[in-house]
């Protein structure tokens, strides 16, 4: 049966694609070797530097985020290279499995999935590598499977404190344009991004933002690469072109999304995500449920994973909610299957959309017979109203 109204896509990506982006993508496809395309290409290649906050090149692939993971590794590393990766959750585990398949030697620093990466552990491991066998440190900024975000600034400081030359590679697939990120300031060498989350686009584009040090590493890196090769991209990119047929209509959408992010202001975008995350956590606590992330310093602002009470199925709850209210929530992945559900609050999202989302969860808990207290939605509304009123007071004072 047709469900009236807009579907609530509250998984932690892909996210709700705003009408402005959808309309921008509805442009007729143009010749990807024309001057007009070159202007679009330059616009998005330059525009993405403002999102990554970087001065080096950004490479755009017509691929999901997994492609950009591979591009980061194959462009900078050689067969048998040691790579230090941190087990923050499911996505860090997938990246590590990819590194193994590519012929690298990843060392997986163990984590319990309920916090982000531990900088002190990384520092100690790097100090224990005087011969500098470790060529790269790879961290997932926002672990989408757990709702824990690692502190990249602290990890940079840890690498510097150990005085280690390893490249720093960071996956920002579910944090870019949602959680503060500064490629140059934090000395990140390769940042991996994807289109379908904070950037408010459909899936299908992914990114590498690259430092001079990573470009230098690429000159001697020996892993086989062809489609992912930065070398092939640099020259055509200078004029806004690509060495293959690009995803023209997604690039129209990207140009629009970059404009929208700057119209709102990146700092305001981050503050909005922080506010929604805090309101969501208040709801979860008022329901008497547990936020999966245990470390407040690592709370994610783009999603909240919620632990189910023992003996209750997260998948049953999600199925109840999608049937009754046409709202999709994220499932638990690998060892968290059926144990957590994930509320996505990232992308093109506002206070009333969050209120609707949390209302759907609260009603779903009741319908699915999950033990909980009432009042989660009210706790979130109180937080949102308080934030709106202090915002109003600030605006009036200015
Ligand atoms: C943090 C993170 N890394 C990597 C990926 C993989 O990206 P994709 O599914 O776009 O290939 C995802 C997907 O959700 C993700 O959240």
* Candidate from 173, 228, 328 with most ligand 1 atoms within 8 A of CB, to mutate: 173
* Candidate from 172, 194, 206, 207 with most ligand 1 atoms within 8 A of CB, to mutate: 194
Tell me: pLDDT of 398 over 80: no
Tell me: pLDDT of 393 over 80: no
pLDDT of the residue at 260: 98
Look up the pTM and report it. Answer: 0.98
108-129 pLDDT, tens digit per residue, is 999 999 999 999 999 999 999 9
62-79 pLDDT, tens digit per residue, is 999 999 999 999 999 999
Residue nearest ligand 1's atom 5 by CA: 65
Which residue in the block uniquely carries the two structure tokens 């690429």? 218
Given a contact cutoff of 8 angstroms between Cβ atoms, the answer to whether 9 and 328 are in contact is yes
Residue 181, Ramachandran bin (φ over 0: left; ψ between -120 and 50: alpha; else beta): beta
Confidence of residue 392 (pLDDT cuts 50, 70, 90): confident
Q: What distance in angstroms lies between residue 171's CA and the mean position of ligand 1's atoms? A: 9
State if residue 171 touches ligand 1 by the CB under 6 angstroms criterion: yes
Rounded to whole angstroms, how far apart are CA atoms 169 and 95?
Answer: 11
Rounded to whole angstroms, how far apart are CA atoms 8 and 323?
Answer: 12
Work out the angle at residue 169's Cα, subtended by the Cα atoms of residues 208 and 98, and round it to the nearest 5 degrees.
Answer: 85
Rounded to whole angstroms, how far apart are CA atoms 152 and 166?
Answer: 15
State if residue 147 touches ligand 1 by the CB under 6 angstroms criterion: no
284-335 pLDDT, tens digit per residue, is 999 999 999 999 999 999 999 999 999 999 999 999 999 999 999 999 999 9
């Amino acid at each position: 049966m047709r469900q009236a109204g807009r579907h609530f896509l509250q998984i932690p990506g892909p996210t709700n694609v705003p009408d402005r982006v959808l309309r921008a993508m509805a442009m007729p496809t143009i010749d990807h070797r024309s001057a007009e395309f070159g202007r679009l290409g330059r616009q998005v290649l330059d525009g993405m530097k403002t999102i990554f906050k970087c001065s080096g090149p950004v490479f755009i692939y017509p691929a999901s985020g997994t492609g950009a993971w591979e591009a980061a590794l194959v462009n900078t590393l050689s067969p048998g290279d040691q790579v230090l990766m941190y087990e923050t959750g499911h996505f860090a585990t997938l990246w590590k499995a990819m590194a193994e398949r590519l012929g690298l030697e990843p060392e997986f620093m163990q984590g319990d999935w309920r916090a982000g990466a531990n900088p002190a552990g990384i520092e100690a491991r790097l100090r224990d590598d005087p011969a500098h066998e470790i060529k790269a440190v790879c961290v997932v900024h926002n672990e989408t499977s757990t709702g824990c975000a690692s502190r990249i600034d602290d990890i940079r400081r840890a690498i510097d404190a150990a005085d280690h030359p390893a490249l720093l590679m960071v996956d920002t697939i579910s944090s870019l344009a949602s959680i503060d990120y500064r490629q140059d300031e934090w000395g990140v060498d390769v940042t991996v991004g994807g289109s379908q989350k904070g950037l408010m686009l459909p899936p299908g584009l992914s990114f590498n933002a690259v430092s001079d040090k990573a470009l230098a590493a690429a000159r001697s890196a020996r892993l086989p690469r062809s489609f992912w090769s930065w070398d092939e991209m640099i020259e055509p990119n200078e004029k806004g072109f690509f060495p293959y047929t690009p995803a023209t209509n997604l690039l129209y959408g990207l140009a629009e999304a970059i404009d929208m992010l700057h119209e709102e202001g990146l700092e305001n975008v981050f503050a909005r995500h922080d506010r929604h995350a805090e309101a969501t956590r208040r709801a979860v606590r008022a329901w008497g449920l547990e936020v999966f992330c245990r470390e407040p310093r690592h709370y994610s602002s783009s999603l909240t994973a919620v632990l189910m009470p023992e003996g209750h199925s997260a998948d049953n709850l999600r199925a109840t909610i999608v049937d009754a209210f046409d709202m999709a929530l994220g499932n638990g992945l690998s060892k968290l299957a059926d144990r957590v559900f994930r509320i996505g609050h990232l992308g093109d999202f506002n206070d009333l959309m969050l209120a609707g989302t949390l209302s759907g969860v609260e009603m779903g808990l009741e319908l699915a017979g999950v033990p909980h207290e009432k009042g989660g939605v009210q706790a979130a509304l109180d937080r949102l109203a308080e934030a709106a009123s202090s915002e109003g007071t600030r605006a009036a004072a200015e």
